[in-house]
């Protein structure tokens, strides 16, 4: 959600910054812009609604060695050129991620002083505030402005009085500095500059800095100098420079590899295993929290841990967690799941948990993300960079880590041995599920115009139904709902007719008959039924309108196998409806504001 890039050095800044913005397109955006000092030292701004490709045509060949860029996801104001970043006020040119919650009051005060505004954004207010307070001491002005803003912000700006510097401020929104030889980079995600340097400084909350070609000077908001800690990061920049028809499909087909790397990495790290056992053995309450797909992974995690460990587990939507005065104390473990590690609601949930003495375990795909700073233990999903907005390979690796943790916490040696054997089989089973692709493509064309779709399942198939539904909504814009199969006749059956598709997920032997009973009720009322199952004989006896047969596996593996055809179904329906599945409307990859 929104992206910041910046560059100062010997290269053409426009090209570096715009190429960096392309690397951040996965975050979701609706407009893009760039601000720079040209070869004569004049501040220039180019911005427009739409994609970075359009901005490149406008500004790629501009000269100059110092620039900042931005991709905007609309919060305050329409997604148009006027509201696009950068914003320019007096001596300053600014890009901003986050939300200034008190911008309306600040704007009113500035208007009384005669300030004029060209946009509806909170970000322009920050730029105007910088210009209003500036007295020649940029550092002092930055600190004063930072203390006045309520909310979250990652800010990078240029000042006309310092044509060889980029200024940065950070609070509750990610910002990183890349350090090279006679050049420096700024980005909200270091993947934007990963091809140039692996030396990265991750700004902490309430820090501000001055970036030039020689490096970074770091301060707190009171102008006290801070030590710069450089980390060596080796980011996996999948897709950099590649011509890929669809990242969504590409990433679904990378699931076997992601599963293998995640399991191998976990079991090879004795320190992680030891710390996992230590944290969970000393606490008597477990809460799993996340948003969207990550929350659906938590639902699977709950079923898995309760089944294997007989451990009571609570799941909470991170967006609701801190507003309901949760019962959390020093005997609680809060497991926070976030693909990006920057999800605002999940991040705030971890801060609340820590403030009450709880232990925090983070499951994330980005090892140096904000959420890792609050965690007592970080479990890293080795999915590689995920570009498409809809989470696919990251979801299955999140579920896998829940199973991996269960295997090391389980006290029954026979069960542990069996679980590990099952995990070894997973990449192969996932590869077999991918062979359904052609058949799914045909089914998608057949059902792409349905008025609505229901996904139903029981036990471990229930959270799978909610995830299948979410994927379809995200990339096809079709109305969809996922729920427990037994709930079908408690209201939703009233919506079933010939224009409705019901996807029945039947992978759990214990409840298979019950789920098929619910699907019979759908068929008897004219609804179309697509069955996703490993029980081919039962499905054929039922007489489904469509059948996707999965490779046979034990209950605990099925959520990671059965989700693959659901992801492919959403992808193919999206294509059949003429929609770009990689960049669904109104959605961002990383939701960094509440």
Map residue 217 onto helix, strand or coil. Answer: strand
Residues whose CB falls within 8 Å of the CB of residue 262, separated by 6 or more in sequence, listed in order: 380, 381, 382, 383, 397, 400, 401, 404
Q: Taking a C-beta distance cutoff of 8 angstroms, is the pair 158, 37 a contact? A: yes
Q: Lay out the sheet containing 546-549: strands in order across.
A: 480-484, 452-457, 500-506, 528-533, 546-549
Q: How far is CA 360 from the centre of its chain?
A: 19
Specify the DSSP class assigned to residue 222.
Answer: T
Active-site residue (options: 2, 66, 291, 298)? 2
Task: Spell out a b/e string for 57-68, using b for 16 or more CB atoms within 10 Å of the CB, else e.
Answer: eebbebebbbbb
Specify the DSSP class assigned to residue 555.
Answer: G
Q: Give the Cα separation of 581 and 273 in Å (integer).
A: 37
Provide φ and ψ at 288, rounded to 5°.
-105, 130
DSSP letter string, 88-141: EETTEEEEEEEEETTHHHHHHHHHHTT---SSS-HHHHHHHHHHHH-SS-HHHH
Active-site residue (options: 56, 213, 473, 589)? 589
Provide φ and ψ at 523, rounded to 5°.
-60, -40
Provide φ and ψ at 76, rounded to 5°.
-100, 110
Q: What tokens appear for 221 in the block?
A: 């908001």
Q: Where are the alpha helices (DSSP H) in 437-504?
A: 437-447, 461-476
Q: Taking a C-beta distance cutoff of 8 angstroms, is the pair 299, 559 a contact? A: no
Exposed/middle/buried for residue 234 (C-beta within 10 Å: 0-12, 13-18, 19+): exposed
Q: How far is CA 413 from the centre of its chain?
A: 36
DSSP letter string, 405-429: HHHHH---HHHHHHHHHHHHHHHHH
Active site residue 421: no
Q: What tokens appear for 465 in the block?
A: 């139904």
Q: How far is CA 577 from the centre of its chain?
A: 25
Active site residue 2: yes
Give the residue from 158, 155, 2 showing the smallest Cα distance to 76. Answer: 2
Torsion sign (Cα): 373, 376, 382, 383: negative
Q: Where are the alpha helices (DSSP H) in 477-535?
A: 512-523
Provide φ and ψ at 174, rounded to 5°.
-70, 145
Q: Tell me which residues are annotated as active site.
A: 2, 589
């Amino acid at each position: 959600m929104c992206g910041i890039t910046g560059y100062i050095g010997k290269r053409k800044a426009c090209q570096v910054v715009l190429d960096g913005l392309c690397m951040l397109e996965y975050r979701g955006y609706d407009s893009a812009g760039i601000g720079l000092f040209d070869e004569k030292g004049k501040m220039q701004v180019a911005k427009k609604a739409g994609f970075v490709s359009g901005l490149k045509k406008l500004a790629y060949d501009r000269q100059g060695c110092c620039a900042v860029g931005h991709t905007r996801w609309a919060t305050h104001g329409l997604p148009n050129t006027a509201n696009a970043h950068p914003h320019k006020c007096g001596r300053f040119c600014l890009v901003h991620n986050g939300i200034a919650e008190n911008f309306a009051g600040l704007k009113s005060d500035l208007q009384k002083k005669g300030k004029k505004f060209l946009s509806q954004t909170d970000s322009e207010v920050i730029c105007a505030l910088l210009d209003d307070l500036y007295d020649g001491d940029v550092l002092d002005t930055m600190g004063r402005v930072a203390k006045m803003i309520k909310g979250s912000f990652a800010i990078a700006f240029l000042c006309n009085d310092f044509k060889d510097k980029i200024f940065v401020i950070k609070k509750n929104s990610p910002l990183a500095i890349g350090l090279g030889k006679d050049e420096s980079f700024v980005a909200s995600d270091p993947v934007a500059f990963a091809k140039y340097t692996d030396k990265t400084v991750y700004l902490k909350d309430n820090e501000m800095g001055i970036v030039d070609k020689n490096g970074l000077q770091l301060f707190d908001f009171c102008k006290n100098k801070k030590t710069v800690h450089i980390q060596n990061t080796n980011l996996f920049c999948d897709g950099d420079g590649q011509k890929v028809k669809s990242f969504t499909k590409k990433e679904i087909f990378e699931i076997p590899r992601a599963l293998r790397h995640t399991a191998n990495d976990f079991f090879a790290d004795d320190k992680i295993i030891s710390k996992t056992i230590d944290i969970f053995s000393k606490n008597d309450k477990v809460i799993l929290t996340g948003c969207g797909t990550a929350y659906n992974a938590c639902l699977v995690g709950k079923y898995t841990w309760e089944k294997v460990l007989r451990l009571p587990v609570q799941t909470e939507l991170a967006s609701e967690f801190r507003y309901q005065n949760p019962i959390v104390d020093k005997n609680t473990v809060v497991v926070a799941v976030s693909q990006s590690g920057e999800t605002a609601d999940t991040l705030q949930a971890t801060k609340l948990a820590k403030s009450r003495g709880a232990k925090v375990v983070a499951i994330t795909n980005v090892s140096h993300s904000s959420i890792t700073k609050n965690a007592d233990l970080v479990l890293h999903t080795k999915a590689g960079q995920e570009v498409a907005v809809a989470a696919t390979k990251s979801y299955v690796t999140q579920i896998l880590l829940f199973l991996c943790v269960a295997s090391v916490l389980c006290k029954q040696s026979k069960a542990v041995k069996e679980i590990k054997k099952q995990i070894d089989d997973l990449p192969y089973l996932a590869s077999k599920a991918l062979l359904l692709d052609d058949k799914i493509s045909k089914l998608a064309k057949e059902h792409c115009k349905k008025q609505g779709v229901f996904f139903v399942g029981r036990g471990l198939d229930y959270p799978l139904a909610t995830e299948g539904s979410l994927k379809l909504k995200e990339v096809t814009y079709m109305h969809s709902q996922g729920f427990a199969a037994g709930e079908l006749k408690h209201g939703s059956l009233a919506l079933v007719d010939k224009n409705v598709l019901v996807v029945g997920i039947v992978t759990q032997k214990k409840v298979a008959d019950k789920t098929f009973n619910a699907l019979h009720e759908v068929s008897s009322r004219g609804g179309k039924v697509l069955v996703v199952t490993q029980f081919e004989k039962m499905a054929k006896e039922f007489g489904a309108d469509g059948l996707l047969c999965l490779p046979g596996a034990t209950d605990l593996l099925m959520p990671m196998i059965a989700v693959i055809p659901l992801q492919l179904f959403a992808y193919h329906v999206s294509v059949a409806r003429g929609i770009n599945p990689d960049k669904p409307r109104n959605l961002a990859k990383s939701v960094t504001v509440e």
